[in-house]
Structure 1
């Protein structure tokens, strides 16, 4: 008999950001050129965590509040951007080698996720979070 928990999801995944051309992103080195030893990574909590479950519940509550307030469930473009940014910021553990205007922590996360010129970043994380395979343990060698 096999213990089912051996298939449990890992709590976090690391994703190296890719630019709008699908090229890996790196922080600039001292010479101003991308330094391949400094990948721009996002560490996120996955679907098997309480952090993710809490963020999903908060997202559902925001949607319900909006429905009660407006009498309809249609999201405006601004609502959708804010909702996505709030959810992703809630499941983000940390950024690595990423900076915007000297912001830190949640303020930095929200700035990145709500910037329409960086719309490819939330899209990447939505895709990452929607696939539980990204949160599985490495298979043992046969």
Structure 2
């Protein structure tokens, strides 16, 4: 995959926006939409099944979560429509510093970016990108679970 396509998919901090559950054009959104469509009207049957299989008592909550995933609204961390709940300095400093990824910054790893385990993973991701290149990093990460 060419660098420009990888940059579209990866956030500045190294997370894969395209595989996020909130990403508007992501696979999770698309599959959730399809599943929601396929299950349309299943609620009546779920009520009947709940009598013998108590797990179906939670079907309405499942549908709520599924519908949330089906309405992914984030355009990714490089867009103006960012929905990411992480308090991430990279989203704003990338514009100021004109960089694509945190490891390209002279201040990496800066003291303001993340804390604890999240900070450790952020540093590991960026070191790995720098080591093997962003295209290879993207391929490597795409084979791992997003969450």
TM-score by length of 2: 0.27
Q: Which has the higher strand share?
A: 1
Using the size of structure 1 for normalisation, the TM-score is: 0.28
Q: Structure 1 or 2: larger helix share? A: 2
